Amino acid sequence: MNSLTRNCEGMGRRDFLQVGLSALGGLGLSEMMALRASAAGNPSAASMLKAGGSDLRCIFVWLDGGPSHYETFDPKPDAPAEIRGEFKSIPTAVPGVHFSEVMPQLAKSFDKFTVVRSIAHKQNN
């Protein structure tokens, strides 16, 4: 296996996804079973079970080797020049949130998606 596919020490991407998705499936299983049990006597629970929520799509962007978060979705306009990068920040459709100037179309439609900025890890790669 090439070294680019092993981002965690001793665990490949496929292993990580398999374990993570199994855990998520286990967490949601009890709620799904409860919905199915109550769907027989409760029409609103039955419609909730069929609908499956209001979100239709999820796109996960992992820019491994791509531009940094300072140059895309998390600019630091108040940081020193050597940290904040060469691009300016622009406001998005959501007040108080800024993107890099290289993503004007995404900034206009930011009220229709979300960006997770709270992920942390101990690796330096």
| pLDDT at residue 101, rounded to an integer | 93
Whether residue 110 sits in one domain with residue 59: yes
Whether residue 66 sits in one domain with residue 34: no
pLDDT(91) > 90: yes
Mean pLDDT of 102-112: 91
pTM here is: 0.47
| pLDDT at residue 1, rounded to an integer | 47
Report the share of the chain in percent with pLDDT over 90. Answer: 12
Show the domain range for 30. Answer: 1-52
Task: Give Dmax (Cα) for the chain.
Answer: 62
Cα–Cα–Cα angle for 14, 19, 24, rounded to 5 degrees: 125
Q: Is residue 124 situated within a structural domain?
A: no
DSSP state of 95: T
Q: Is residue 120 situated within a structural domain?
A: no
What are the tokens at 15? Answer: 């292993």
Q: Based on the structure, what is the number of domains in the chain? A: 2
| Model confidence pLDDT, tens digit, residues 25-54 | 777 777 777 767 766 666 665 555 555 556
What are the tokens at 77? Answer: 């306009």
